[in-house]
Amino acid sequence: MGICASASSVEGGKEKQPEVRLEDFEIISTIKKTSHGKIKLVRNKQSDVLLVLKSTQKSLVKRNTLLPIIIQERNMLARLQSPFICNLKYAFQDAENFYLVVEYKAGRDLRAALKKQRKLNEESVAFIAAEVASAIAYIHSHHIVHRNLRPENLLLDEDGHVVLTDFRLSSFFNEKNMLYVSVGTLAYMGL
């Protein structure tokens, strides 16, 4: 079932009812505005758990080709359950937006951490590299390639563990469907 179907919650890659609505969340703050929507910190009113709500405006989806990307991101996240990614909790829509709700990981992205610390010791670099490699190996085992691996998409949680986020540019792959087109953030692609 794609994100365009009726609202549903997602747990462990399996869809369950009851329906989820925007009203089920208290908006705490806006984390980031993007060209196609907003990313907000929210609290689930029923469980009191902090989560991240990513919205995409339907009006922008109709004007360009975002719909297949949104559905693919939702389907990828629904397959995955790992301590190395921001796991999907809910996917739903209303009249104006599509929503993905993922785990909230307190901490900061790797870019912000590097900016604050300026440099990391060898032990920290080895730890981060090992966890990034584990995250990549995990998603590759599900035939998913991230395609936008950059410091801003690597979160360091409050315990210093790496969490991979932002699967918008990710793709499914297999031996018959190899990926040859370059995608990603231009500043990191050396183009």
pLDDT (0 to 100) of residue 118:
81
Tell me how far apart the alpha carbons of residues 39 and 32 are, in angstroms, rounded to a whole number: 5
If asked whether residues 17 and 94 sit together in one domain, one would say yes
List the CATH number of the domain containing 115.
1.10.510.10
If asked whether residues 177 and 126 sit together in one domain, one would say yes
Q: Tokens 């990614």 correspond to what residue?
A: 85
pLDDT (0 to 100) of residue 185:
53
Which stretch of 22-26, 76-80, 105-109, 179-183 has the lowest confidence by average pLDDT?
179-183
**pLDDT mean over 5-26:** 65
If asked whether residues 24 and 91 sit together in one domain, one would say yes
If asked whether residues 98 and 113 sit together in one domain, one would say no
If asked whether residues 113 and 93 sit together in one domain, one would say no
Tell me how far apart the alpha carbons of residues 98 and 40 are, in angstroms, rounded to a whole number: 13
Position 183 confidence tier, pLDDT thresholds 50, 70, 90: low
Condensed to tens digits (0 to 9), the pLDDT of residues 103-115 reads 999 888 888 888 8
The burial class, CB within 10 Å (0-12 / 13-18 / 19+), for 89 is buried
**pLDDT mean over 118-137:** 92
Q: Tokens 């590097």 correspond to what residue?
A: 114
Position 92 confidence tier, pLDDT thresholds 50, 70, 90: very high
Instruction: Give how far Cα 28 sits from Cα of 33, 41, 97, 98, Å.
Output: 15, 5, 18, 19
Of 103, 129, 162, the position where a domain reaches its end is 103
**pLDDT mean over 17-30:** 91
Could you tell me which of 154, 47, 59, 58 has the C-alpha nearest to residue 110? 154
pLDDT (0 to 100) of residue 154:
92
List the CATH number of the domain containing 74.
3.30.200.20
Range of the domain at 143: 107-189
Tell me how far apart the alpha carbons of residues 78 and 97 are, in angstroms, rounded to a whole number: 19
If asked whether residues 82 and 43 sit together in one domain, one would say yes
pLDDT (0 to 100) of residue 14:
52
Q: Quickly list H helices, 142-185.
A: none
Cβ-Cβ contacts under 8 Å for 90 (sequence gap 6 or more): 8, 9, 10, 20, 99, 100, 101
Write down the pTM of the prediction: 0.80
If asked whether residues 111 and 170 sit together in one domain, one would say yes
Backbone angle region of 23, left / alpha / beta, with phi > 0 → left and psi within -120 to 50 → alpha: alpha
